[in-house]
Amino acid sequence: MSLGIEYRYSERGPEPEPMSGNVPKPVLVGPPIPLHIINQRQFRIITEFRARMDQAKANAMDKALAAMDALFNKRGPTMENINQKTQIAEAVVTKFEPAGPGIYPGIPGEAYHGGPGLSKSGLDWALVSGQHYHYYQVEGNDQKLTAALREGRILHKVVLEFEDFNSEFVVEPEWPEDAISGAEQMKAIIQAYNDDLEQKPAVEELIQAIEAHNAKLPKPIDAGKSMGEYEAAYEMLPEAFQTLGEDDKRTATALKACIKAHNDSLPKPIKTSGGYQAVLENYALLGIQQAERAAHIHSLPTPLPLNGTKAEMTERIRTFNPDAVLLEEVKEQFMQEAGGREVLTANEYQHALRYREAVLAHPEAAVLLDEGVAESSLYWHHPETKALLKCRPDWMRPDHVLVDLKFVRNASPSGFARDGSAHNYHIQDAHYCDGYETLTGHKPSFVFVAVEKDGPLGRDVFKPILVGVYYYGQEDQRRAIELRDMAVRNVVRWSQDNYWPGHDGMGEIIVPTYQANAERSTLNEDESGFSPTQVPDVEQPLDALPDNLFGSEAA
């Protein structure tokens, strides 16, 4: 079946204000072409915008919209279009402003949410108070991105747009088992390397060998300090140094010169002072064997330090293991390749696939999702106030059925009804159907596919994933559209008056019935014997309050 409309972009005419860039203008013409085919053929590439949405820059909007316009005017994606994906993705859209009422497929979610128009989520705040609406919608204070919101984004993508999953998400791979991780493991690897090294002898061992050598050297002869000591020392000299005649022996200077010449001819002791290298060089002077050993010791690698930064320890490890795989580097490379996409663990991805299988295994849910378009953006004007309204159905079938996917704690009829009451699902139904009927002329059906979560995404769970399909009746829809209209009128009035009410005024509060009954039961059981203070049943008039309670009277 077909929606009975074709989405075509007309020739350029005068653009309505305000405008930014060449925004495509939607028009509704015939003959009918199935909407899901049009979307898949013409707008698939546009979803590539989402990959870089986190790096949004406002000054890139005109470039991105021009690229979108070039694609929208094609009847189908050509190879040239496909080759432009990267350039288009780099021209990031920060908000989308529609040229006029219409259905806009393929608009990135961030651009939709950042653009103009009253959405159901914004109107929910208006139903709480004007201050709530102003805080979240006017001031733009974002709600905290909870784990539940993140999981909802992931599961919507897996169930409804599985073929486009990789444009927004990437699955974390299994990291190499031998990858080195953390400073402690790095230190342990360096320590193991040091332990395997041939140890250099301690400097004390080298000094001891030198001292043993020095101890074997002939001792110099002490000349003494007197003439008699000089003569005695001279007699101890080898004959080669006793070169003085009889007359010369009586000269102290000549005697000391002979003794000095002898002592100077003796081999000098080898020094043991200095650092390890200096001692090693002196050790090499002991002989040929010692010189060869000293050369071997010098060639041994020095143990590597265990302290320092991760970068320094990485460099040290690479000196003895050039092929070492460091987990931090592998992860950094993975994140570079991921770009701006959100990373899922393998467990999260497998868990998400189980949700997809559960939904598609449900007979009614599978039929509802077998044909249609995901995440189209609808814009129309409120008939009474002319305010711009918008909505974004999860799934839009060509036979005028809107499907919304909800991930809930309890998918039973009663459980989902409670969730629906807490989150105004009936108002979502009415709001979306109003927009669709306004734009297409067809009154749609609105169906919820409720999926019962079995636990946090990626965790081990031990319960089935239940799925239920539900819809609201006409009475709930009629009341919901009245509430929606009231919220729109309030927002328009608050904006005009620049006044955003909270809990204004003063009023009587009443103790809840259950508490009042419990208190009365307690009083009835009282056996203390005291008579309670009697409080008259007659209501006291409010005019008993002082006239000047809120300020003095005017003079």
Query: At 469, which amino acid appears?
Result: V
Query: At 396, which amino acid appears?
Result: M
Q: Taking Cα atoms as reference points, which of 434, 433, 406 lies closest to residue 422?
A: 406
pTM: 0.62
- Cα gap 450→413, rounded to integer Å: 9
Consecutive H or E run containing 519:
helix 513-524
pLDDT, one tens digit for every residue, the chain (555 residues)? 333 333 333 333 333 333 333 333 333 323 333 333 333 433 333 334 333 333 433 344 444 444 444 433 433 333 233 334 333 333 444 788 998 999 999 898 889 988 999 999 999 999 999 999 999 999 988 777 678 888 999 999 999 999 999 989 999 999 888 898 889 999 999 999 999 999 999 999 999 999 999 999 999 999 898 988 988 998 899 988 988 887 776 688 888 899 899 999 999 999 999 999 999 999 999 999 999 999 999 999 989 999 989 889 999 999 999 989 998 889 899 999 988 899 999 999 999 999 999 999 999 999 999 999 999 999 999 999 999 999 999 999 999 999 999 999 999 999 999 999 999 999 999 999 999 999 999 999 999 999 999 888 888 877 899 999 999 999 999 999 999 999 999 999 999 999 999 988 899 999 999 999 999 999 998 776 666 666 566 555 555 555 665 555 444
Q: Residue 524: how many CB atoms within 10 A of its CB?
A: 7
**What backbone phi and psi angles, to 5 degrees, belong to 276?**
-60, -45
Domains of the chain: 1-113 (no CATH), 117-175+342-503 (3.90.320.10)
Query: At 442, which amino acid appears?
Result: H
Asked whether the beta carbons of 472 and 458 are under 8 A apart, the reply is no
- Cα gap 133→52, rounded to integer Å: 29
Cis peptide before 31 (omega within 30 of 0): yes
**Token couple for 180:** 């080195």
- Cα gap 126→486, rounded to integer Å: 9
- Cα gap 60→111, rounded to integer Å: 13
- Cα gap 351→171, rounded to integer Å: 12
